[in-house]
A and B are shown apart, each in its own frame.
Chain A
Amino acid sequence: GAVVSQHPSWVICKSGTSVKIECRSLDFQATTMFWYRQFPKQSLMLMATSNEGSKATYEQGVEKDKFLINHASLTLSTLTVTSAHPEDSSFYICSATELGISNQPQHFGDGTRLSIL
């Protein structure tokens, strides 16, 4: 149980393109979803936390207008990288926690590798 599906797994696109990444909880309802960014050989950096039906909470230094997060339902959150540039190239990972269960571990998607040319 507790499977999180992230799509697409790999994106290559031109500079200036906007890219949408989906994160779905397949067999549970997710109160909260998290978006992370991971640089090569480094740890995960939390970008933002989103709760269904409300605005995302962004970490310091993360541009809200660059990284748009929508959490429209209890099973889907999306991250849109707007007007992407080469410096946005990275590995993006989402995670989710289950509705109504406090202090449960986050369940992670398999990540999306974004390459901007």
Chain B
Amino acid sequence: GNSVTQMEGPVTLSEEAFLTINCTYTATGYPSLFWYVQYPGEGLQLLLKATKADDKGSNKGFEATYRKETTSFHLEKGSVQVSDSAVYFCALSDLGSGYSTLTFGKGTMLLVSP
């Protein structure tokens, strides 16, 4: 079956530091890949996505590249801010029965200090 593995957190960084959160996946077929962000007490917001190999998703300074050869979709940001503190979920979807069922990683908490 499908699965997503994320690095365990929390990841603790100072403001303006470089961020990498690793994500690898196993899937049959050609899934789409997503990063979602969850702020405390809230639901999930789509951060970025990529639908095929070598696609790069980007948003709000975050980016991730769909690497089929290494089955990875690592999240990066060049300079984090305190407001980026949240839990980040890597996810994949495959059409399965015709709709997009999501498989989530366990989430990685990011804590950014001033």
Q: Is there an interface contact between A108 and B106, defined as CB atoms closer than 8 Å?
A: no
A-contacting residues, B81-114, CB 8 Å:
89, 93, 95, 98-102, 104-107, 109
B69 within 8 A of A: no
B45 within 8 A of A: yes
Interface size class of B (residues with CB under 8 A): 20 to 34
CA distance A104 to B42 in the complex (A): 21
Main secondary structure of the interface of A (DSSP, over half): strand
Q: Add 6 more A-B contacts to A43-B89, A44-B104, A49-B99 (CB < 8 A).
A: A49-B101, A95-B43, A97-B99, A105-B100, A108-B45, A113-B41
| A residues whose Cβ falls under 8 Å from a Cβ of B | 4, 6, 31-32, 34, 41-44, 46, 49, 51, 93, 95, 97, 102-111, 113
| B residues whose Cβ falls under 8 Å from a Cβ of A | 32, 34, 36, 41-46, 49, 51, 89, 93, 95, 98-102, 104-107, 109
